[in-house]
Structure 1
Amino acid sequence: MNAVEVARGDGPVVLAFPHTGTFVPDAVHAALNARGRMLADTDWHIDKLYAGLRADVTTVRATFHRYVIDANRDPAGGVLYPGQNTTGLIPLTDFDGGDIWQAPPDAGAIAERVDRFHAPYHKALRAELERVHHRHGVALLYDCHSIRSQIPFLFAGVLPDFNIVTNDATSCDARITSAVAHICATAAGYSSVVNGRFKGGWTTRHYGQPAQGLHAVQMELAQSSYLTTQAPPWHYDTQKAEKLRAHLKTLLDRLTELAPQLKGMT
Structure 2
Amino acid sequence: MSTSIDQPFHFRAGQSPLLVSMPHSGTARLPGMDAKLTDAAKALPDTDWHLPTLYDFLTEMDVSVIQAHYSRYVVDLNRPIDDQPLYTSKTTGLFPDILFSGEPVFIEGEGFDEATKARIKAEIWQPYHQKISETLTQIRDRHGYAILFDAHSIAAQVPMLFDGTLPDFNLGNNNGLACATTMLEKLAELVRHSPYTHVCNGRFKGGYITRHYGQPSAQIHAVQLELSQATYLVDRPQTHHSQSDASDAQPEPAKYQLDQAKQRRVGPLLQQLMQSLLAHGHPTDQAE
Q: Is TM > 0.5 for Structure 1 vs Structure 2?
A: yes
Summarize deviations over 1:32-67 as a string: whole Å, max 9, x none. 222221111100001110112442111011110000
State the match for 2:169 in structure 1. Answer: 162
Deviation at 1:107, TM superposition (A): 2.6
Check whether the contact 2:181–2:286 (CA below 8 A) recurs between aligned residues.
no
Counterpart pick for 2:261 among 236, 239, 249: 239
Check whether the contact 1:69–1:113 (CA below 8 A) recurs between aligned residues.
yes
Counterpart CA distance in 2 for 1:230 and 1:164 is 26
Q: How does 1:122-133 map to 2 (within 5 A)?
A: 122-133=129-140
Q: How does 1:7-26 map to 2 (within 5 A)?
A: 7-26=12-31
State the match for 1:140 in structure 2. Answer: 147
**Does residue 98 of structure 2 align to residue 93 of structure 1?**
yes
Deviation at 1:177, TM superposition (A): 1.1
Deviation at 1:259, TM superposition (A): 2.6
Tell me the TM-score normalised to structure 2 length: 0.88
Q: How does 1:94-109 map to 2 (within 5 A)?
A: 94-102=99-107, 103-109=110-116
**3-state SS in 2 of match to 1:220:** strand
**Does residue 51 of structure 2 align to residue 51 of structure 1?**
no
Counterpart CA distance in 1 for 2:69 and 2:149 is 18
Q: How does 1:80-229 map to 2 (within 5 A)?
A: 80-82=86-88, 84-102=89-107, 103-187=110-194, 189-229=195-235
Identity of aligned residues (%): 36
Check whether the contact 1:213–1:264 (CA below 8 A) recurs between aligned residues.
no
> Structure 2: which 5+ runs fail to align?
1-5, 238-252
What's the RMSD between the two structures over aligned residues?
A: 1.5
Check whether the contact 1:35–1:100 (CA below 8 A) recurs between aligned residues.
yes
**3-state SS in 2 of match to 1:200:** coil
Counterpart CA distance in 1 for 2:235 and 2:7 is 31
Check whether the contact 1:50–1:248 (CA below 8 A) recurs between aligned residues.
yes
**3-state SS in 1 of match to 2:20:** strand
**3-state SS in 2 of match to 1:26:** coil
Counterpart CA distance in 2 for 1:123 and 1:146 is 23
Per mean C-alpha deviation after superposition, the further-off stretch among 35-44 and 100-109 is 100-109
Residue type of the alignment partner of 2:181: A
State the match for 2:7 in structure 1. Answer: 2
Residue type of the alignment partner of 2:7: N
Counterpart CA distance in 2 for 1:176 and 1:242 is 25
Counterpart CA distance in 1 for 2:221 and 2:135 is 13
**Are residues 255 and 99 of structure 1, via their aligned partners in 2, closer, same or farther at CA, if it must alter by over 3 Å?**
same
> Structure 1: which 5+ runs fail to align?
none
Check whether the contact 1:166–1:177 (CA below 8 A) recurs between aligned residues.
yes
Residue type of the alignment partner of 1:26: P
Aligned residues: 263
Deviation at 1:87, TM superposition (A): 0.5
Counterpart pick for 2:271 among 231, 249, 254: 249
